[in-house]
């Protein structure tokens, strides 16, 4: 076979394959919205994270923050379209020998087999996607049928060229591509824009003692978080216990409850970052639930399983010695919002949020540490919050006027408390004491403030540091969030002018 002809056929088929792939992806997301089909990028998110080295993921999170998931989803979409383009190219080359109008449909069927027989099981949807319901393989078959039909449209016919057919097809690729891109843009861009440019925590300039729920940071491993129906939900407490429990929402709420003010922080929070918020949480003490289930002596660890497959575990000795650990169901006096783990989540003050699964389904007493979701990728299994302090005002790059300037921010050291906050206006050469309000509880941040007399024009490097309740000063050594939380002094630059 002539090599230039093969190359031309491959490029022709690749173009039509990418077009057909774009249409398939757009219809896939539309089916996700209308019919509940889980898009392939969503299914492949966790397998991709599972094979990604933890330090690589940590670097991406530190660098991209909320944009990380957007970049990942976009990359998976591009990879999916590219693969379907290659499939189209292979179909076109094969068509040089196998001249049949049904040949593109055979390649579409091969694509369906690859997705349904290999990728869906890898994405935990089961063989043919049947774990997501009997309609799943049918929906994917329809998507690939559409893909095959579009390949057929671009399939070069044998015999004389039909100029009428060529004119008819001339505008179809442009129309299909434009409509598909429009559907994808309408479905994805608003969420992507919100995630990158308007995350919840970006709505506050100066922190308040209690963070408004709309501004409480939101982080999860998922492209699409679970939506749990309270009427069909039950919390199961089992494993190495003598009296397994199965509690409905009403039964859980009927147990003796406590309310605590708690500051939560994400392990991927950068120094000076906004992934740290405070709220009032109500729920049941975890140690009381464990006691109700009658744990055996062999049950030395408490494991958690969430609706989205997230897992974690903590030592039972920690549970017994920390009555502040809650199974929380209320947040600021109302049922905990879905984004924060409705109908119940684990709350472990003093530890990064990775230790407290949302959308909790099961609590099991086990005899060993059950590898948590992020620990399996190398993140620290203790996840104890580091002492940190940040500026809320001024902001990095601000230009301020000569005279008295108000400095303000927050300081936090988990359950250790804060004993001192200091700021520097000369890059750490000298330090001045800042005042701070008493915390709302032993588990919250403090709001600090100070007045700086900026008496001369110029550029200044401002830093802030805190000392915890034990007298240990925040470390100045800079480290990334991986594997146990970011560290270093929050440093900003401001210019003073008349």
Q: Which residue has the tokens 């004119």?
A: 167
Extract the tokens encoding 47: 């397998």
Q: What is the pLDDT of residue 49?
A: 84
Neighbours of 142 (CB within 10 A): 15
Q: What is the CATH number of domain 206-377?
A: 3.90.420.10
CA angle 445, 394, 490 (to 5 degrees): 55
Q: What is the pLDDT of residues 165-207, one digit of tens each?
A: 555 556 788 899 999 999 999 999 999 999 999 999 988 889 9
- Please determine, for residue 158, whether its predicted confidence score (pLDDT) is greater than 50: no
**Where are the domain boundaries for CATH 3.90.420.10 in the chain?**
206-377
- Please determine, for residue 159, whether its predicted confidence score (pLDDT) is greater than 50: no
- Please determine, for residue 377, whether its predicted confidence score (pLDDT) is greater than 90: no
Per cent of the chain over pLDDT 90 is: 84
Burial of residue 58 (number of CB atoms within 10 Å: 0-12, 13-18, 19+): buried
- Please determine, for residue 314, whether its predicted confidence score (pLDDT) is greater than 70: yes
Per CATH, the architecture of 388-497 is what? Sandwich (2.60)
Q: What is the pTM of this model?
A: 0.91
**What is the rounded average pLDDT of the residues 242-263?**
98
- Please determine, for residue 161, whether its predicted confidence score (pLDDT) is greater than 80: no
Q: What is the pLDDT of residues 141-152, one digit of tens each?
A: 999 999 999 999
**Where are the domain boundaries for CATH 2.60.40.650 in the chain?**
388-497
Among 437, 457, 71, CA closest to 278: 437
* Cis peptide bond upstream of 352, omega within 30: no
Q: What is the pLDDT of residues 80-124, one digit of tens each?
A: 999 999 999 999 999 888 877 788 999 999 999 999 999 999 999
Q: What is the pLDDT of residue 160?
A: 47
Distance CA 492, CA 268 (A): 20
The average confidence (pLDDT) of the chain is 93
444 within 8 A of 276, measured Cβ to Cβ: no
Q: What is the pLDDT of residues 215-229, one digit of tens each?
A: 999 999 998 899 999
Q: What is the pLDDT of residue 20?
A: 97
């Amino acid at each position: 076979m002539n090599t230039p002809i093969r190359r031309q056929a491959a490029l022709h088929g690749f173009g039509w394959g990418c077009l057909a792939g774009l249409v398939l992806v757009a219809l896939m997301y539309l089916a996700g919205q209308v019919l509940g089909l889980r898009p392939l990028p969503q299914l492949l998110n966790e397998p991709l994270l599972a094979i990604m080295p933890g330090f690589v993921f940590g670097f991406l999170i530190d660098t991209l923050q909320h944009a990380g998931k957007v970049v990942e989803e976009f990359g998976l979409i591009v990879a999916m379209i590219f693969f379907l383009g290659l499939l189209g190219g292979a179909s076109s080359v094969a068509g040089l020998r196998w001249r049949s109008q049904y040949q593109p449909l055979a390649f579409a069927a091969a694509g369906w087999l690859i997705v349904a027989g290999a990728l869906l099981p890898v994405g935990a949807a089961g063989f043919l996607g049947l774990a997501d319901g009997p309609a799943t393989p049918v929906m994917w078959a329809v998507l690939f049928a559409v893909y095959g039909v579009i390949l057929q449209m671009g399939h070069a016919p044998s015999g004389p060229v039909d100029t009428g057919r060529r004119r008819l097809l001339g505008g179809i690729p442009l129309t299909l591509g434009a409509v598909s891109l429009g559907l994808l843009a309408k479905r994805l861009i608003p969420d992507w824009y919100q995630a990158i440019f308007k995350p919840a925590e970006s709505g506050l300039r100066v922190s308040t003692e209690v963070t408004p729920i709309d501004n409480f940071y939101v982080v999860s491993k998922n492209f699409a978080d679970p939506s749990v129906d309270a009427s069909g939900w039950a919390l199961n407490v089992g494993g190495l216990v003598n009296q397994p429990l199965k509690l409905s929402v009403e039964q859980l709420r009927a147990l003796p409850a406590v309310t605590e003010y708690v500051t939560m922080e994400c392990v991927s929070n950068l120094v000076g970052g906004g992934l740290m918020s405070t709220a009032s949480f109500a729920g049941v003490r975890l140690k009381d639930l464990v006691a109700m289930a009658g744990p055996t002596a062999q049950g030395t660890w408490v494991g958690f399983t969430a609706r989205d497959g997230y897992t974690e575990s903590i030592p039972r000795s920690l549970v017994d010695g920390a009555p502040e650990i809650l199974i929380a169901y209320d947040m600021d006096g109302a049922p905990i919002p879905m984004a924060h783990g409705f109908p119940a989540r684990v709350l472990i003050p003093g530890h990064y949020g990775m230790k407290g699964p949302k959308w909790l389904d099961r609590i099991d007493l086990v005899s060993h540490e059950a590898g948590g979701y992020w620990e399996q990728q190398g993140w620290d299994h203790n996840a104890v919050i580091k002492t940190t302090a940040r500026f809320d005002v001024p902001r990095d790059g601000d230009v301020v006027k000569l005279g008295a300037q108000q400095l303000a921010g927050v300081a936090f050291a988990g359950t250790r408390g804060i004993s001192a906050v200091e700021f520097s206006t000369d890059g750490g050469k000298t330090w001045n004491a800042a005042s701070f309000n008493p915390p709302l509880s032993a588990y919250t941040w403090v709001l600090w403030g100070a007045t700086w007399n900026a008496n001369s024009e110029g550029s200044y490097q401002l830093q802030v540091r805190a000392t915890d309740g034990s007298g240990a000063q925040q470390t100045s050594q800079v480290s990334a969030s991986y594997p146990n939380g970011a560290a270093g002094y929050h440093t900003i630059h401001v210019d003073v002018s008349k």
